[in-house]
Structure 1
Amino acid sequence: MKMLGLGDVRLHYRVDGPADGPPVVFANSLGTDMRLWDPILPLLPEGLRIIRFDKRGHGLSSCPPGPYSMGALITETEQLLDHIGVRDCVFVGLSIGGMIAQGLAVKRLDMIRALVLSNTAAKIGTPDMWAERIEAVRQGGIEALADAVMERWFSTEFLATPELELWRNMLTRQEDEGYIGCSAAISGTDFYTTTATLRLPTLGISGSEDGSTPPDLVRETTDLIPGSRCQVIRNAGHLPCVEKPEEYAALLTAFLKEVGHV
């Protein structure tokens, strides 16, 4: 675990695998930290250089006052990857992480050679919807949203398991200000025009029971990029890497081989 100072924010990050391995960068969702990817990492091919980080206001990164902008989140990711020396990576972004992926790919094609846009979209929700969620957190903390978030994140089957508590705890133990700040960043983002300019290998992944970014929304976004394809993981919600890690890892591994990354 390492920390990088970037002006008003300090980013927690971790690099695993050989220094000369093909880099794969993972960016997690709103309300989670880098542990989101733990279920799939042992299932990926050996020899990869795995880069994970907590965006501002999440995990062990610092939490500057909000609101945040998507531009700031993208720039901080860019600065982190420049610091590590990442080029020609496959960037896997889930939810807000997928928005960061889209914005960074437009900005730095030297840094990203292929995209995995998981449970994300060029535009998520509406400003009014996000304003309501932000106000709910201001009034009652993240706990006020937690049960509704779990229903969007997970399938009916997973909601009945003891493991649900792990992810509910992860959500509610995030900083309220970090959740609010990143919610504001999502609210102000519409990448339909810019994402449509991308020309790089892209895999979309969705969950059939995703209540945040349904499969049709993910497919609409990946369809903006010529040559992309989109896969639906059945009986999974917004975090299929948690619910169906074997299937998720298999899709990712196949894509890494397809683009010549392994």
Structure 2
Amino acid sequence: MTTTALHHRIDGPDGAPVLVLGPSLGTDLHLFDAQVDALADRYRIVRFDLPGHGQSPSPAGPYTMRGLADDVVALLDRLGMDRVHYAGVSIGGAIGQQVALDHPERVLSLAAMASAARFADPESWPKRAATVREKGPDAMVASRPGTWYVPSFSDTDEARRLLSMLRATTAEGYAGCCEAISGFDVRDRLAEVRVPVLAVAGAEDPATPPQMVRIIADSAAVGRFEVIEDAAHLLNVEQSEQVNGLLAEHLADAVAGSRHG
């Protein structure tokens, strides 16, 4: 995969610590609107769109997690940003793990939400990719309630907004990212991550259940694990206040540690 110039948006004051936010499969950078509202007074926040998502271009797949991580580092290079705090959801959290492993000098802290060091059923992801290449992302819409969010969240404007992001994703961008997920496995490397790690799971997430997310925190040198009740996969939207509080605490501790490290 050649480097993709990822579409991005920057919020927050110049000179503040940089926080990079990586979105989930089938969503765009607006997945993190609530986090920007809560944190942009203290952090310089960089959000990006995955290839074929939002306004990022859609090169031919398959993609790899290493390639996606390199795209993020290339974005930071273009922006002149050296060391950053990183937080991501699902594949966005996997990209963060890959950046922390392949480019450790660039990462000050890592938060992985509804993510995994190895996603479930790796053999199913190429099949999903083939389905989406044939039928488009609309083929995934019916399966998102109960996976992306708990059933009680389905009839909300936020749920409809999330599904609109999925419908706007290109088939190749979605499928290529599925193939990156299929080939991702860093379980035997996570002990190399030396920066503070926060892993957050949705209690009702069938895609990355708590025991899967916990591996990230337990494997890192300095890890914290939290479970959010009444939340599924896109927990940062469903339970934004709780997630914002955890992120704020995690980042404040990491910033203080980096200043005294």
Q: 1:52 to 1:45 in 2, by over 3 A?
A: closer
Consecutive unaligned residues of structure 1, counting only runs of 5 or more, are 1-5
Give the corresponding residue for 1:212: 207
Amino acid at match of 1:254: E
- Retained in 2: the 8 A contact 1:8–1:64? no
- In structure 1, C-alpha distance between the alignment counterparts of 2:89 and 2:38, rounded to whole Å: 18
Give the corresponding residue for 1:251: 246
Partner deviation per Cα, 1:48-97 (whole Å, 9 max, x = no partner): 11111112121101001111121211111111111212233210011111
Q: Does 1:155 align with 2:160?
A: no
Q: 1:170 to 1:232 in 2, by over 3 A?
A: same
Name whichever of 149-158 and 244-253 sits farther off. Answer: 149-158
Structure 1 ranges of 4+ moved more than 6 A: none
- In structure 1, C-alpha distance between the alignment counterparts of 2:8 and 2:235, rounded to whole Å: 22
- In structure 2, C-alpha distance between the alignment counterparts of 1:170 and 1:66, rounded to whole Å: 20
- In structure 2, C-alpha distance between the alignment counterparts of 1:84 and 1:112, rounded to whole Å: 15
- In structure 2, C-alpha distance between the alignment counterparts of 1:100 and 1:7, rounded to whole Å: 16
- In structure 1, C-alpha distance between the alignment counterparts of 2:99 and 2:158, rounded to whole Å: 33
Partner deviation per Cα, 1:126-170 (whole Å, 9 max, x = no partner): 332112212221332211121112321101210233432211111
Choose the corresponding residue for 1:90, options 79, 85, 92.
85
Secondary structure at the residue paired with 1:229? strand
1:211 to partner: Cα distance = 1.8
1:8 to partner: Cα distance = 5.9
- In structure 2, C-alpha distance between the alignment counterparts of 1:163 and 1:259, rounded to whole Å: 30
1:1-262 aligned at under 5 Å gives the runs 9-44=4-39, 46-260=41-255
- In structure 1, C-alpha distance between the alignment counterparts of 2:229 and 2:157, rounded to whole Å: 21
Question: TM-score w.r.t. structure 2 length?
Answer: 0.93
What is the percent sequence identity of the aligned residues?
Answer: 37
1:7 to partner: Cα distance = 6.2
Amino acid at match of 2:93: G
Amino acid at match of 2:14: A
Amino acid at match of 2:4: V
Give the corresponding residue for 1:3: none
Name whichever of 122-131 and 214-223 sits farther off. Answer: 122-131
Secondary structure at the residue paired with 1:86? coil
Higher helix share: 2
- Retained in 2: the 8 A contact 1:154–1:239? yes
- Retained in 1: the 8 A contact 2:26–2:165? yes
- Retained in 1: the 8 A contact 2:12–2:40? no
Amino acid at match of 2:224: R
Partner deviation per Cα, 1:192-248 (whole Å, 9 max, x = no partner): 112222111111111111121111100022211023011111101111111111111
- In structure 2, C-alpha distance between the alignment counterparts of 1:167 and 1:113, rounded to whole Å: 30
Question: TM-score w.r.t. structure 1 length?
Answer: 0.92
- Retained in 1: the 8 A contact 2:104–2:193? no
* Aligned length, in residue pairs: 257
- Retained in 2: the 8 A contact 1:150–1:168? no
